[in-house]
Amino acid sequence: MKSHGIVAIIKRGKKYLLLKERRDLMFGYWRPPCGRMEKTDLNEEATVVREVMEETNLKVKPKEKLWTTKADTKVKTITFWSAKIIGGDLKIDKKESSDFKWVTPDEALKLELFPGTKKFFEKVKLGKIKI
């Protein structure tokens, strides 16, 4: 499953958590917490929990699959999952991200986003994906 990844959509009120990419491939672009499935992950939900913890120090509970699409970078496909915060204090992994912010879909679409993330928020804005 290293060819498949997840994107964790974490919502607080009407705003969504985005991280600013620090690594070379998409340096400076904004994205939700995301990552590749690893052999040790039992399923996508386990990947959501692990990646969010690694990137944000937040403990989450995956809620539902929202959308699967072709990926932007290192994997072939990605699935966007909604996730609820159930613990932890937000602290980004400075090796992967340089900043974070909570944004509405309109605010997100004004940022430099990963292409898949841009499509996701366009679909949210049009009501094609409901969270």
120: how many CB neighbours lie within 10 A of its CB?
A: 26
Predicted confidence (pLDDT) per residue in 2-45, tens digit: 688 999 999 999 999 999 999 877 889 999 999 999 989 999 99
Query: Which CATH fold would you assign to the domain 4-125?
Result: Nucleoside Triphosphate Pyrophosphohydrolase (3.90.79)
The reported pTM is: 0.93
Close Cβ partners of 49 (under 8 Å, ≥ 6 residues apart): 59, 60, 61, 62
DSSP lists the bridge partners of residue 30 as 20, 113
Alpha-carbon distance 52 to 3, whole Å?
19
Place of tokens 């909604």: 82
Predicted confidence (pLDDT) per residue in 56-82, tens digit: 999 999 999 999 998 877 788 999 999
Q: Do 16 and 83 touch, CB atoms closer than 8 A?
A: no
At 23 the pLDDT is: 85
Tell me the average pLDDT of the chain: 94
- Hey, where are the domains in the chain? 4-125
pLDDT value at 1 more than 60: no
